[in-house]
Chains A and B, each alone.
Chain A
């Protein structure tokens, strides 16, 4: 028993899978974090991921090139973000209700679009996938090489992006503007910051980030697309922001925890432990719930979720 546990945990495979599964989550979470810090609550990450996942799959399949799939996902992510921004920033609609609408819309739309694009033979057509990129020199290292340095390029990229986001938030004038807009948009406006523009930009970026997260799931890992492919990962990403206390580093760590839990449950399944698999599948979701419970009061930006009308007293 103890030996099994040891094998389960002390294995490079588990770490490898953790990084792999954290990546799509973290992409979406970083996107969500960016607009959240500017005061726009984005529970629509789930829908945006789905849109990215489907677009990447269909384009990769049709064009025979996974990179074109990613490019298309970026584009669709930006469009979805723009649409969301129009609704919640310009028209000042309730951000939660709009995001829920967006999620339902994307769930339906991707299902329909899938059938329209590839017919009913769902899951039968594997798309070309993004290849693994072994980092020259590092991938050859004993033990850690194959675990850390033989991944999709996006896995390295997302960790770099998390660091870059921390740098942008705390070391640049853009980041300061984003933080100020999320906390007190009126104060930001009185010193000449264009609140609407900042919010648009961050919401569009959140769409792009989430779409890339989705694309990694479809053409990075699964080579296919199915309805509801993201299975709530957008919501878990949203939780990672809160559990991570609205900081890039915190969000990174929270995403790692959720990624690890997912990897662990898959591994327990693979080990054939006598637990019904349904219990294992829910494990990441339970951990998410527990994490939010443990996190207690994680205070978001003061103006989070509040529409802003420029120039009004």
Chain B
């Protein structure tokens, strides 16, 4: 007699008004297995695991745990059955301590009194067993994101989870933290836990999982053994067509200088010098990548050029015009496009419709306004055209930006910013949080703009992405330029050293690469 798999998901269907989020999804997970759930944003991964965690109930289908059918009415039921979940947005109470967060909602051995002492000992024991270093007495808000994630994992283990679900756990981590997380997952696996690992990053799935179930449009495309597949095959299943990992990038056709930056210093939000003595030029038809670990002055640099943050000293000139007291509205005259890092707060008005967002920059000009009155017909026609051109997946142009997926929100911004054939494009982490298909789309559009003769600043923390797209790469560390390189001439290791501030190119070396 064969023992049934640890977890069996059988034909789970879940619909929300107007959407089939999961359509007869079936797969199984064994004990001691790391099972990746791969799919683009909106493929139904989060809906599926929310069902598994009892947060909503499926319309039909069965879940079997250890061979027995289970019904989950709430997360309480899931926890009782040994299912633990680490949500994408951590479910921690910031002002409480680690220990308080971990015992929250559980019966205390001294009910109704808390017993944090013994709990802390147990937490420390779990920490040692799985290499999850946490301080039970620390308050959560003081911890780094990586530490908070560890608290979430310990929280699930403390509740006796045999099945651990991690929803996009690497999205918020640094490469070092991802490495540590993977070590923890391997140890969990060795101890016989089952792990469901949700991701849309192929490299990670290849690195950590035993098997992969690929979801697309709410359906299971296939479940395959990781060892018997490769990135290209997975990408094909996930997106439903061939995906190009290498761009066929024509050589740069450099034109006149569009942007000159000289000895620029910019203050950060914490009154520290975020950008120090940065000088560079940028010409038409060129993509300048800005590499660095997040928070090393990239956003301040872009914001200064976009006129959103005053320069402390130094000069910025665009198309030969020096900008003294820079106003964001100048960007319009100067034909600069800005794709901001925080698309939901800065890039879009989330509660405005797609058509309104598409004219957010131009609404006071003809043809969208006449004598101060908005011309709704023109605004809608503009929206319909852009929606078609940029393949924005929205039911119509009047839905709120909030209702779109991340990738489609980014397309709205691109459609708005690129519509005026800008001379200079400032793209700050334009692919962050986007799935493969949307990333490819964004990169393709930027390359089109490059071919048209736009000068582009491309900020990203993804090294691979930056090296494949840029003509030149500037490496920032603590607001200073550590190096100016061409993608073909540098190894990833050298880049890493410069990003960490351990290697710095000489002035001559950099001078040679000032375009």
Residues of A within 8 A of B (CB): 171-177, 179-180, 183-184, 186-193, 302, 311
Does B55 count as interface, using CB distance less than 8 angstroms?
yes
Are B96 and A183 in contact, CB atoms less than 8 angstroms apart? Answer: yes
Set of chain A residues within 8 Å of B76, measured between Cβ atoms = 192
Contacts A176-B104, A176-B114, A180-B104 given; indicate if A190 touches B93 (C-beta within 8 A).
no
Instruction: Point out the residue from B56, B87, B100 that lies within 8 Å of A176, measured CB to CB.
Output: B100
Set of chain A residues within 8 Å of B81, measured between Cβ atoms = none
**Which of A177, A183, A184, A190: most chain B CB closer than 10 A?**
A190
Contacts A183-B96, A186-B91 given; indicate if A191 touches B106 (C-beta within 8 A).
yes
Does B74 count as interface, using CB distance less than 8 angstroms?
yes
Contacts A172-B114, A177-B105 given; indicate if A190 touches B85 (C-beta within 8 A).
yes
Are B103 and A176 in contact, CB atoms less than 8 angstroms apart? Answer: yes
Are B93 and A183 in contact, CB atoms less than 8 angstroms apart? Answer: yes
Does B107 count as interface, using CB distance less than 8 angstroms?
yes
Set of chain B residues within 8 Å of A179, measured between Cβ atoms = 93, 95-96
Are B55 and A171 in contact, CB atoms less than 8 angstroms apart? Answer: no
Within B181-239, which residues are at the interface with A (CB < 8 Å)?
A: none
Does B112 count as interface, using CB distance less than 8 angstroms?
yes
Set of chain A residues within 8 Å of B112, measured between Cβ atoms = 172-174
| Closest chain A residue, CB of each to CB of B90 | A187
Does B75 count as interface, using CB distance less than 8 angstroms?
yes
Are B93 and A188 in contact, CB atoms less than 8 angstroms apart? Answer: yes
Set of chain A residues within 8 Å of B71, measured between Cβ atoms = none
Contacts A172-B112, A302-B94 given; indicate if A193 touches B105 (C-beta within 8 A).
yes
Set of chain A residues within 8 Å of B75, measured between Cβ atoms = 189-192
Are A187 and B113 in contact, CB atoms less than 8 angstroms apart? Answer: no
Within B62-120, which residues are at the interface with A (CB < 8 Å)?
A: 74-76, 79, 85, 87, 90-96, 100-101, 103-108, 111-114
Set of chain B residues within 8 Å of A175, measured between Cβ atoms = 114
Set of chain B residues within 8 Å of A187, measured between Cβ atoms = 90-93, 101, 104
Query: 12 new A-B pairs (CB below 8 Å) besides A192-B105, A302-B94, A311-B55?
Result: A171-B113, A172-B112, A176-B103, A180-B96, A180-B104, A188-B104, A188-B105, A190-B53, A190-B87, A191-B91, A191-B155, A302-B95
* Cα distance A193–B75 in the bound complex, in angstroms: 9
Some 23 contacts from A to B, beta carbons below 8 A apart, are A171-B113, A171-B114, A172-B112, A172-B113, A172-B114, A173-B111, A174-B112, A176-B96, A177-B104, A179-B93, A179-B96, A180-B96, A180-B105, A183-B93, A184-B91, A187-B91, A187-B101, A189-B75, A191-B75, A191-B106, A302-B94, A311-B55, A311-B56
Set of chain B residues within 8 Å of A191, measured between Cβ atoms = 75, 79, 91, 104-106, 155
Set of chain A residues within 8 Å of B114, measured between Cβ atoms = 171-173, 175-176
Set of chain B residues within 8 Å of A176, measured between Cβ atoms = 96, 100, 103-104, 114
* Cα distance A192–B81 in the bound complex, in angstroms: 13
* Cα distance A180–B87 in the bound complex, in angstroms: 17
CB A192 to nearest CB in B, in angstroms, measures 3
Set of chain B residues within 8 Å of A172, measured between Cβ atoms = 112-114
* Cα distance A174–B110 in the bound complex, in angstroms: 12
Set of chain B residues within 8 Å of A183, measured between Cβ atoms = 93-96
Set of chain A residues within 8 Å of B92, measured between Cβ atoms = 184, 187
Set of chain A residues within 8 Å of B104, measured between Cβ atoms = 176-177, 180, 187-188, 191, 193
Specify the main secondary structure of chain B where it touches its partner: loop
Set of chain A residues within 8 Å of B96, measured between Cβ atoms = 176, 179-180, 183
* Cα distance A15–B96 in the bound complex, in angstroms: 37
Report the contact-size class of chain B (Cβ under 8 Å from the partner). Answer: 20 to 34
CB B160 to nearest CB in A, in angstroms, measures 13
Set of chain B residues within 8 Å of A174, measured between Cβ atoms = 112
CB B22 to nearest CB in A, in angstroms, measures 15
Set of chain A residues within 8 Å of B55, measured between Cβ atoms = 190, 311
* Cα distance A261–B85 in the bound complex, in angstroms: 53
* Cα distance A187–B95 in the bound complex, in angstroms: 13
Are B93 and A173 in contact, CB atoms less than 8 angstroms apart? Answer: no
Set of chain A residues within 8 Å of B91, measured between Cβ atoms = 184, 186-187, 190-191
CB A96 to nearest CB in B, in angstroms, measures 22
CB B235 to nearest CB in A, in angstroms, measures 28
| Closest chain A residue, CB of each to CB of B112 | A172
* Cα distance A186–B85 in the bound complex, in angstroms: 14
Are B93 and A180 in contact, CB atoms less than 8 angstroms apart? Answer: yes
**Which of B56, B91, B100: most chain A CB closer than 10 A?**
B91
* Cα distance A213–B112 in the bound complex, in angstroms: 28
* Cα distance A176–B53 in the bound complex, in angstroms: 23
CB A254 to nearest CB in B, in angstroms, measures 20
| Closest chain B residue, CB of each to CB of A310 | B74
* Cα distance A186–B105 in the bound complex, in angstroms: 12
Set of chain B residues within 8 Å of A184, measured between Cβ atoms = 91-94
**Which of A175, A176, A177, A186: most chain B CB closer than 10 A?**
A176
| Closest chain A residue, CB of each to CB of B105 | A191
| Closest chain B residue, CB of each to CB of A182 | B93
Set of chain B residues within 8 Å of A186, measured between Cβ atoms = 91
* Cα distance A19–B8 in the bound complex, in angstroms: 65
* Cα distance A173–B113 in the bound complex, in angstroms: 6
* Cα distance A184–B100 in the bound complex, in angstroms: 13
CB A263 to nearest CB in B, in angstroms, measures 35
* Cα distance A36–B100 in the bound complex, in angstroms: 20
Are B87 and A173 in contact, CB atoms less than 8 angstroms apart? Answer: no
* Binary flags per residue of B19-63, CB closer than 8 Å to A gives 1, else 0: 000000000000000000000000000000000010110000000
| Closest chain B residue, CB of each to CB of A189 | B75
* Cα distance A189–B53 in the bound complex, in angstroms: 12
CB B41 to nearest CB in A, in angstroms, measures 14
| Closest chain B residue, CB of each to CB of A172 | B112
CB B420 to nearest CB in A, in angstroms, measures 36
* Cα distance A302–B94 in the bound complex, in angstroms: 9
CB B366 to nearest CB in A, in angstroms, measures 41
Set of chain B residues within 8 Å of A171, measured between Cβ atoms = 113-114
* Cα distance A191–B113 in the bound complex, in angstroms: 18
* Binary flags per residue of B267-303, CB closer than 8 Å to A gives 1, else 0: 0000000000000000000000000000000000000
Set of chain A residues within 8 Å of B93, measured between Cβ atoms = 179-180, 183-184, 187-188
* Cα distance A177–B108 in the bound complex, in angstroms: 12
